A = this chain, B = another copy of it.
């Protein structure tokens, strides 16, 4: 998938570390396209990462996450901090460098050199998207962004994987987010660090805030009391309070060591995911190509051989080489 034009990876890495926006944009495209030069650039800039604060935003589609990000960006810019925004959208039909669509608040910042905005779309493999998102986050971090805002659209494991790259996680809901509240209550949704009820001018906003607070009160005691904030992203109301909460959360996780632990465990998990995703991809190819495997799968479909026995037969063939080493 290497580009037709020659790529000077080392040169791009140098320019990116100097804060060059075009080098940053080009590098993200390379990692998004799975170009070896992209991985090489990440390899070179990696020791220079870790300074940026990574904030993740999750929540149902239509909750107003993008508008909220636009307002937060405005506040951070007026405080002189540089911002990177990465929107990960598994629903977008664009293959890369996806358009931001109706994200009006973000478009206010398109001409600001201190703001770098990028949207990443699904490339078929959901896992691969999370992988590419981490690389893009690292590139923004190395390019000197003080703050990287990670936004995921949608629900499910792909979003959880992306949001795991963040230091702090904000859940954005609106009045009408009944399903998300139920999921929080039932314990099927991971507890975020900050909860925002956006569109807080809605008549049901107050009862929703109360509902969330009582749900949180039923949970186990935590060393961080999760703030439940009201915002109206379209007017900017409450966004200053959200920023203050995020600053406070960062100070908290820095002081008690959570930030270091969280980053360590996420980086370890990322390596595990990279390796197992690659193994799975190789396996998928083999299951289609190898006549022996194809025959086994046909026996499963025709109910002659059960799935677990077929899996065991395939495993015996593909078992990692180092198995003997580890059992010694």
Interface residues of A (CB under 8 A from B): 39, 42-43, 46-47, 49-50, 60-63, 90-91, 134-135, 138, 153-158, 160, 174, 176-180, 182-183, 185-189, 263-264, 267-268, 270-272, 274-276, 278-280, 282-287, 289-290, 296-297, 300-301, 303-311, 314-315, 317-323, 325-326
Contact = CB atoms under 8 A, between A and B. Distances in A.
A155 B183 contact: yes
Contacts of A275: 283, 311, 314-315, 318
A273 B311 CA distance: 9
B186 A91 contact: yes
Sort A-B residue pairs by CB-CB distance and give the 7 closest, nearest first. A157-B157, A154-B188, A176-B178, A274-B311, A61-B186, A46-B306, A60-B179
Contact of A301 (B157, B188, B267, B279): B267
Contact of A286 (B178, B280, B306, B322): B322
Contact of A315 (B187, B278, B289): B278
A178 to B, nearest CB: 3
Give the number of times this chain occurs in the complex, counting copies.
Answer: 2
Contact of A188 (B155, B267, B296): B155
B318 A49 contact: no
Contacts of A61: 182-183, 185-186, 188
A304 B188 contact: no
Given A279-B318, A283-B320, 7 more contacts: A60-B178, A179-B180, A270-B307, A272-B280, A274-B307, A275-B315, A317-B322
A60 B180 CA distance: 8
A320 B279 contact: yes
B276 A283 contact: yes
Nearest to A60: B179
